[in-house]
Amino acid sequence: MDDYPHPYLAREGWPFLLAAVLVSIAVTAFAGAGWASPFWLLTVFVAQFFRDPARRVPTQPGVIVSPADGRVVSVERTQDPYLNREALKISVFMNVFNVHSNRSPVEGVVRERWYNAGKFLNAALAKASLENERNALWIRTDDGADITSVQVAGLVARRILCYVEPGARVRRGERYGFIRFGSRLDLYLPVTARAKAVIGDTVRAGETILAELQGAA
Protein backbone atom coordinates (compact mmCIF):
# COMPACT_ATOMS: atom_id res chain seq x y z
CA MET A 1 0.00 0.00 0.00
CA ASP A 2 1.35 3.45 -0.81
CA ASP A 3 2.14 6.07 1.81
CA TYR A 4 -1.10 7.85 2.62
CA PRO A 5 -0.78 11.09 4.58
CA HIS A 6 -4.48 11.98 4.60
CA PRO A 7 -7.82 10.31 5.46
CA TYR A 8 -10.05 8.34 3.12
CA LEU A 9 -12.01 11.53 2.41
CA ALA A 10 -9.91 13.96 0.35
CA ARG A 11 -9.07 17.12 2.26
CA GLU A 12 -10.51 19.15 -0.64
CA GLY A 13 -13.94 17.81 0.29
CA TRP A 14 -14.02 18.60 3.99
CA PRO A 15 -15.62 22.08 3.68
CA PHE A 16 -18.22 20.78 1.20
CA LEU A 17 -19.15 17.78 3.33
CA LEU A 18 -19.37 19.86 6.50
CA ALA A 19 -21.64 22.38 4.77
CA ALA A 20 -23.87 19.61 3.39
CA VAL A 21 -24.17 17.92 6.79
CA LEU A 22 -25.00 21.18 8.59
CA VAL A 23 -27.66 22.12 6.04
CA SER A 24 -29.16 18.63 6.19
CA ILE A 25 -29.32 18.72 9.99
CA ALA A 26 -30.90 22.19 9.94
CA VAL A 27 -33.57 21.20 7.40
CA THR A 28 -34.31 18.02 9.35
CA ALA A 29 -34.72 20.00 12.57
CA PHE A 30 -36.95 22.71 11.14
CA ALA A 31 -38.86 20.96 8.35
CA GLY A 32 -38.72 17.25 9.06
CA ALA A 33 -37.07 14.21 7.50
CA GLY A 34 -39.20 14.28 4.35
CA TRP A 35 -38.07 17.75 3.30
CA ALA A 36 -34.52 16.98 4.38
CA SER A 37 -34.12 13.78 2.33
CA PRO A 38 -32.81 15.55 -0.83
CA PHE A 39 -30.20 17.32 1.28
CA TRP A 40 -29.08 14.05 2.86
CA LEU A 41 -28.83 12.53 -0.63
CA LEU A 42 -26.66 15.49 -1.61
CA THR A 43 -24.50 14.82 1.45
CA VAL A 44 -24.03 11.21 0.35
CA PHE A 45 -23.08 12.38 -3.16
CA VAL A 46 -20.51 14.83 -1.77
CA ALA A 47 -18.99 12.10 0.40
CA GLN A 48 -18.66 9.68 -2.50
CA PHE A 49 -17.30 12.35 -4.85
CA PHE A 50 -14.48 13.29 -2.47
CA ARG A 51 -13.54 9.75 -1.46
CA ASP A 52 -9.84 9.13 -1.96
CA PRO A 53 -8.82 5.52 -1.25
CA ALA A 54 -5.21 4.36 -1.00
CA ARG A 55 -3.86 2.48 -3.99
CA ARG A 56 -1.39 -0.35 -4.63
CA VAL A 57 1.23 1.29 -6.85
CA PRO A 58 3.09 -1.07 -9.25
CA THR A 59 6.81 -1.34 -8.55
CA GLN A 60 8.15 -2.84 -11.78
CA PRO A 61 10.52 -0.53 -13.70
CA GLY A 62 9.40 1.48 -16.71
CA VAL A 63 5.66 1.34 -16.19
CA ILE A 64 3.42 4.37 -16.48
CA VAL A 65 0.36 4.32 -14.24
CA SER A 66 -2.91 6.11 -14.76
CA PRO A 67 -2.99 9.64 -13.31
CA ALA A 68 -6.76 9.43 -12.83
CA ASP A 69 -9.70 7.13 -12.23
CA GLY A 70 -12.09 6.82 -15.13
CA ARG A 71 -12.40 5.52 -18.68
CA VAL A 72 -9.76 5.59 -21.42
CA VAL A 73 -11.14 7.70 -24.27
CA SER A 74 -8.05 8.14 -26.44
CA VAL A 75 -4.92 6.18 -27.40
CA GLU A 76 -3.25 7.81 -30.38
CA ARG A 77 -0.11 9.24 -31.95
CA THR A 78 -0.34 13.03 -31.94
CA GLN A 79 1.59 16.22 -31.23
CA ASP A 80 2.51 17.13 -27.67
CA PRO A 81 1.64 20.88 -27.62
CA TYR A 82 3.79 21.50 -24.54
CA LEU A 83 7.09 19.88 -25.53
CA ASN A 84 6.54 20.31 -29.29
CA ARG A 85 7.18 16.68 -30.17
CA GLU A 86 5.38 13.71 -31.61
CA ALA A 87 3.96 11.65 -28.77
CA LEU A 88 1.74 8.78 -27.75
CA LYS A 89 -1.33 10.33 -26.14
CA ILE A 90 -3.51 8.43 -23.66
CA SER A 91 -6.55 10.24 -22.22
CA VAL A 92 -8.70 9.27 -19.24
CA PHE A 93 -12.17 10.77 -18.76
CA MET A 94 -13.53 11.16 -15.21
CA ASN A 95 -17.26 11.40 -14.60
CA VAL A 96 -18.77 12.74 -11.37
CA PHE A 97 -18.81 9.25 -9.82
CA ASN A 98 -15.07 8.65 -10.20
CA VAL A 99 -12.39 9.43 -7.62
CA HIS A 100 -10.98 12.82 -8.62
CA SER A 101 -7.55 12.78 -6.97
CA ASN A 102 -4.74 12.91 -9.54
CA ARG A 103 -1.52 10.94 -9.15
CA SER A 104 1.87 11.11 -10.80
CA PRO A 105 2.17 8.57 -13.64
CA VAL A 106 5.92 8.12 -13.11
CA GLU A 107 8.74 8.82 -10.70
CA GLY A 108 10.87 11.79 -11.65
CA VAL A 109 11.45 15.52 -11.39
CA VAL A 110 8.96 18.20 -12.42
CA ARG A 111 10.78 20.26 -15.04
CA GLU A 112 8.01 22.74 -15.84
CA ARG A 113 4.39 23.57 -15.15
CA TRP A 114 1.98 25.41 -17.44
CA TYR A 115 -1.50 26.75 -16.66
CA ASN A 116 -3.89 27.81 -19.44
CA ALA A 117 -7.26 29.44 -18.87
CA GLY A 118 -9.93 28.20 -21.26
CA LYS A 119 -13.42 26.93 -21.89
CA PHE A 120 -15.44 24.31 -20.01
CA LEU A 121 -16.48 21.96 -22.81
CA ASN A 122 -17.51 18.37 -22.19
CA ALA A 123 -14.21 16.75 -21.17
CA ALA A 124 -15.04 13.62 -23.19
CA LEU A 125 -14.59 15.64 -26.40
CA ALA A 126 -11.19 15.53 -28.10
CA LYS A 127 -11.08 19.31 -28.54
CA ALA A 128 -11.29 19.78 -24.75
CA SER A 129 -7.56 18.93 -24.62
CA LEU A 130 -6.70 22.19 -26.38
CA GLU A 131 -9.64 24.47 -25.60
CA ASN A 132 -10.54 23.84 -21.96
CA GLU A 133 -8.90 25.21 -18.83
CA ARG A 134 -5.88 23.00 -18.12
CA ASN A 135 -2.76 22.53 -16.04
CA ALA A 136 0.21 20.64 -17.47
CA LEU A 137 3.26 19.11 -15.78
CA TRP A 138 6.45 18.11 -17.59
CA ILE A 139 8.05 15.25 -15.63
CA ARG A 140 11.43 13.79 -16.54
CA THR A 141 12.16 10.28 -15.26
CA ASP A 142 15.56 9.19 -13.95
CA ASP A 143 16.09 7.39 -17.27
CA GLY A 144 15.56 10.64 -19.18
CA ALA A 145 12.04 9.99 -20.50
CA ASP A 146 9.80 13.04 -20.79
CA ILE A 147 6.17 12.68 -19.68
CA THR A 148 3.55 15.42 -19.94
CA SER A 149 0.57 15.01 -17.60
CA VAL A 150 -2.29 17.44 -18.23
CA GLN A 151 -5.26 18.10 -15.95
CA VAL A 152 -8.18 19.29 -18.09
CA ALA A 153 -11.32 20.91 -16.68
CA GLY A 154 -14.69 19.59 -17.81
CA LEU A 155 -18.23 20.76 -18.42
CA VAL A 156 -19.00 21.36 -14.75
CA ALA A 157 -15.43 21.38 -13.38
CA ARG A 158 -14.52 24.82 -12.13
CA ARG A 159 -11.35 24.22 -10.13
CA ILE A 160 -8.07 22.53 -11.02
CA LEU A 161 -5.77 22.03 -8.02
CA CYS A 162 -2.07 21.20 -8.44
CA TYR A 163 0.30 20.93 -5.48
CA VAL A 164 3.71 20.57 -7.15
CA GLU A 165 6.01 23.12 -8.77
CA PRO A 166 9.08 22.88 -11.03
CA GLY A 167 11.96 21.25 -9.21
CA ALA A 168 9.78 18.97 -7.10
CA ARG A 169 10.46 15.25 -7.14
CA VAL A 170 7.38 13.05 -7.46
CA ARG A 171 6.98 9.34 -6.87
CA ARG A 172 4.98 7.09 -9.13
CA GLY A 173 1.43 7.04 -7.80
CA GLU A 174 1.99 10.04 -5.54
CA ARG A 175 -1.02 12.31 -5.17
CA TYR A 176 -0.31 15.70 -6.77
CA GLY A 177 -3.64 17.34 -7.57
CA PHE A 178 -7.41 17.28 -7.69
CA ILE A 179 -10.13 18.40 -10.13
CA ARG A 180 -13.65 19.12 -8.96
CA PHE A 181 -16.74 17.75 -10.72
CA GLY A 182 -15.97 15.94 -13.99
CA SER A 183 -12.86 16.27 -16.12
CA ARG A 184 -10.03 14.41 -17.89
CA LEU A 185 -6.29 13.71 -17.77
CA ASP A 186 -4.13 13.64 -20.88
CA LEU A 187 -0.76 11.91 -20.92
CA TYR A 188 1.78 12.63 -23.67
CA LEU A 189 4.42 9.89 -23.71
CA PRO A 190 7.50 9.16 -25.84
CA VAL A 191 6.48 7.55 -29.14
CA THR A 192 8.58 4.53 -28.18
CA ALA A 193 6.28 3.81 -25.21
CA ARG A 194 4.10 0.72 -25.59
CA ALA A 195 0.45 1.27 -24.75
CA LYS A 196 -1.08 -1.33 -22.43
CA ALA A 197 -4.52 0.30 -22.23
CA VAL A 198 -7.14 0.46 -24.96
CA ILE A 199 -10.10 2.77 -25.51
CA GLY A 200 -12.95 1.84 -23.20
CA ASP A 201 -10.79 0.45 -20.39
CA THR A 202 -11.78 1.39 -16.84
CA VAL A 203 -8.66 2.50 -14.95
CA ARG A 204 -7.65 3.47 -11.42
CA ALA A 205 -5.26 6.30 -10.54
CA GLY A 206 -1.84 5.19 -9.32
CA GLU A 207 -2.67 1.53 -9.87
CA THR A 208 -3.58 0.69 -13.49
CA ILE A 209 -0.66 0.46 -15.91
CA LEU A 210 -1.39 2.52 -19.05
CA ALA A 211 1.92 2.03 -20.86
CA GLU A 212 5.50 0.83 -20.61
CA LEU A 213 8.67 2.69 -21.50
CA GLN A 214 10.90 0.75 -23.87
CA GLY A 215 14.34 -0.21 -22.63
CA ALA A 216 13.52 0.15 -18.92
CA ALA A 217 15.32 -2.29 -16.67
Q: What is the DSSP track for the chain?
A: -----S-SB-GGGHHHHHHHHHHHHHHHHHH-HHHHHHHHHHHHHHHHHTB--------STTEEE-SSSEEEEEEEEEEETTTTEEEEEEEEEE-TTS--EEE-SSSEEEEEEEEE--B---TTSTTHHHHB-EEEEEEEETTS-EEEEEEEE-SS---EEE---TT-EE-TT-EEEEE-SSEEEEEEE-TT-EE---TT-EE-TTTSEEEE-TT--
183 classed as catalytic: yes
How far apart are alpha carbons 101 and 180 in whole angstroms?
9
Q: Which of 104, 129, 149, 183 is catalytic?
A: 183
The residue among 149, 114, 148, 155 whose CA lies nearest residue 132 is 155
Active-site residues, by number, are 183
